Structure 1
Amino acid sequence: MQRPLVKGLAALCLLATLAGCAGPKQLYSWNGYQPQVYAHLKSDGKSSPEEQILDLEKGLQEANAKGAKVPPGYHAHLGLLYLNTGRTDQAVAAWNQEKALFPESAKYIDFLINNMKKNRS
């Protein structure tokens, strides 16, 4: 009579152990962000700014569909890509989104916006 109880407890312990191995949910949805930044910095011509923008926008859509957050710098990098392709309004919108999500980036984002305005004048 004790054998079924022992087997049941062993199965319960095994199940609890396996459930603990699942790990915590990731804080951010990276969606190819790191390879995009690498491609941008590498500037090897394999990925144009337009292609990078499309990939990052797709990543944003996927994150939004999952209800996930994108990491710090995602919108800032997207804004720089918009600026490099002449889309200043979209750049400012992306940078303001970065500031809203990560207030600690405000000084950097304000620097980017002010620098862009100086260069346009």
Structure 2
Amino acid sequence: MSKMFMSLRVVTAVALGSAFLAGCAQQPKTLYQWEGYEPQVYQYFEGESKEAQIIALEGDLQKIRSTNRLAPPGYHAQLGLLYLSAGRDDQMVQEFNTEKTLFPESTAYMDFLLKNAKKGS
């Protein structure tokens, strides 16, 4: 009975030690840093001030860059759309081109938006 009790103690100690070490392990970093991007997209559709959204996304972009991380897909496109609605065409073009560079799969859509922006659509 005492050998069984000792085995149970050893197994319990190993299990607790493993759980402790697993809890201390550094969590993997995500590929992108989202900051307030998702709430800003929601606020875009809710009609919040475009200028307030631009300020929030620009601030978050500075935070993202300061940590040497990447903004998620769509971030620069969203910022470009906000610049378009604010009449800041040069910045819109820059953001759409940044989106295309970082995420080549968005090229067709970014080109579509650029083409329609030039037409005034």
* TM-score band, normalised by shorter chain: 0.7 to 0.9
Equivalent in the alignment of 1:28: 32
**Cα distance in 2 for residues equivalent to 1:75 and 1:38:** 16
Gaps of 5+ in 1: 1-5
1:37 to 8, 31, 41: 41
From the CA coordinates, give the structure whose radius of gyration is larger.
2
- Deviation for aligned residue 1:17: 1.8
Alignment gaps of 5+ in structure 2:
1-9
What is the TM-score with the length of structure 1 in the denominator? 0.82
Structure 1 residue aligned with 2:18: 13
Q: Which amino acid aligns with 2:39?
A: P
State the match for 2:90 in structure 1. 89
Partner Cα distance (2:24, 2:111) in 1: 45
Deviations 1:12-62 (A, max 9, x none): 534432234x4321111111000000000122xxx3100100000001100
Aligned residue for 1:50?
Answer: 51
Structure 2 partner of 1:99: 100
The equivalent residue for 2:5 is: none
Distance 2:82 2:31 in 1: 25
Q: Which SS does the other structure have where 2:30 is aligned?
A: coil
Residue matched to 1:3: none
Aligned residue pairs: how many? Answer: 112
Q: Percent identity?
A: 48
Amino acid of the structure 1 residue aligned with 2:61: L
Output the amino acid matched with 1:83.
L
TM-score relative to the length of structure 2? 0.82
